[in-house]
Structure 1
Amino acid sequence: MSVINTEIKPFKASAFKAGKFIDITEKDVLGKWAVFVFYPADFTFVCPTELGDVADHYAEFQKMGVEIFSVSTDTHFVHKAWHDASETIAKIQYTMIGDPTMAISNNFEILRADQGLANRGTFIIDPQGVIQAVEITAEGIGRDATELLRKVKAAQYVAAHPGEVCPAKWHEGEATLAPSLDLVGKI
């Protein structure tokens, strides 16, 4: 995917958070770790299960200095209506960005332009605004917030420890690797 290791592009949008409508730009993302969770549409089936799962883990993300931003091409008004109508979505404390112009979805190369919907995608962004990880799944395949937490921890570890990398299934506290000529063919 071409967006890996690129800076997020400028955007301005309206969002719903903590019972209020707010304006948000890319500048609100800089200076902290962030996760953008794109999903196709409000009032659907797989989407609330994913957003609810992230809501259940939001405090853990916050402890890690990570802010969550969910994004769909619905408006911030629709986000509020969904928040008011659904027990699952009512748990959400993170920012729900409306992208009716599809500019943000297009910036992240996640837009299904022929349908006006975002694909199901997750982007981990470092404090400099650089995209460090991307996960995109098909319409019917839900994501797992526990796995997202693991990936964010790995991204934060690698950023804090230059010269080290996290192997498959790495979890916080486990051994990492220091790539070198000595490791070639030994793993």
Structure 2
Amino acid sequence: MSLIGKEVAPFAAKAYHNGEFIDVSEQNFKGKWSVVCFYPADFTFVCPTELEDLQNEYATLKDLGVEVYSVSTDTHFTHKAWHDHSEAISKIEYVMIGDPSQKISRIFDVLNEEEGLADRGTFIIDPDGVIQTVEINAGGIGRDASTVVNKIKAAQYVRNNPGEVCPAKWQEGSATLKPSLDLVGKI
């Protein structure tokens, strides 16, 4: 069943953020745009490259009114230890959610039950707490955070301009489409 258009179900979790442990819930996703990035595990190989890449886009995302959350089935304690011992992860300024109960991974349907780890899932959530995009990659395929920036811009444009849609490879400032009977068969 698709998660697109669904509100994030209730959860409560502990997270590591800027040297502190904090509480996080689905309520954190309301009132602003959010990116939730699931990854398999701390102290691994592809994961730090992805999380560092996401950090490299963090200022741009913040300028767009977006908060970023990373999630794995590790604990918030493990996130702190990783942050303290990895050059790449020590740069992270966004929230790192622990999901040792695997509840959040199940809510977002990214839990690999056999391994007890989350798949690589990226979710864009609108200010109403509703999921607008979903991308799930196999474990060996890292993601490119710059595509998240483009998707956020498109999602924000569509939300702010009812009746318009963004075509493939849309970039901010380029032409959009207004679906109508006149366009059928002409694109």
CA distance in 2, matches of 1:146, 1:8: 24
In structure 1, the residue matched to 2:86 is 86
Aligned-pair distance for 1:115?
Answer: 1.2
In structure 2, the residue matched to 1:133 is 133
TM-score (norm 2): 0.99
Which string of whole-angstrom CA distances, capped at 9 and with x for unpartnered residues, describes residues 126-169 of structure 1? 00000000000111111111111000110010000000000000
Q: Following superposition of structure 1 onto structure 2, how do residues 134-153 of structure 1 map, counting pairs within 5 Å?
A: 134-153=134-153
In structure 2, the residue matched to 1:168 is 168
Q: Which runs of 4+ in 1 moved over 3 A?
A: none
CA distance in 1, matches of 2:173, 2:96: 32
Where 2:77 maps in the other structure, the secondary structure is helix
CA distance in 1, matches of 2:167, 2:71: 30
CA distance in 2, matches of 1:28, 1:39: 20
Where 1:155 maps in the other structure, the secondary structure is helix
TM-score (norm 1): 0.99
- Report the number of matched residues: 187
Question: Identity percentage over the alignment?
Answer: 65
CA distance in 1, matches of 2:15, 2:98: 5
Instruction: Give 1:76's aligned amino acid.
Output: H
Where 1:59 maps in the other structure, the secondary structure is helix
Where 1:87 maps in the other structure, the secondary structure is coil
Aligned-pair distance for 1:113?
Answer: 1.4
Where 2:88 maps in the other structure, the secondary structure is helix
In structure 1, the residue matched to 2:106 is 106
Query: Does residue 180 of the first structure (1) align with residue 177 of the second (2)?
Result: no
In structure 2, the residue matched to 1:9 is 9
Instruction: Give 1:165's aligned amino acid.
Output: V
Where 2:37 maps in the other structure, the secondary structure is strand
Which string of whole-angstrom CA distances, capped at 9 and with x for unpartnered residues, describes residues 45-92 of structure 1? 111000000101101000000000000000000000000111100110
CA distance in 2, matches of 1:114, 1:137: 17
Query: Does residue 23 of the first structure (1) align with residue 47 of the second (2)?
Result: no
Over aligned residues, Cα RMSD in angstroms? 0.6
Where 1:37 maps in the other structure, the secondary structure is strand
Runs (5+) with no aligned partner, structure 1: none
Aligned-pair distance for 1:103?
Answer: 0.3
Where 1:52 maps in the other structure, the secondary structure is helix
CA distance in 1, matches of 2:5, 2:66: 18
Aligned-pair distance for 1:2?
Answer: 1.4
CA distance in 2, matches of 1:164, 1:83: 42
Instruction: Give 2:163's aligned amino acid.
Output: G
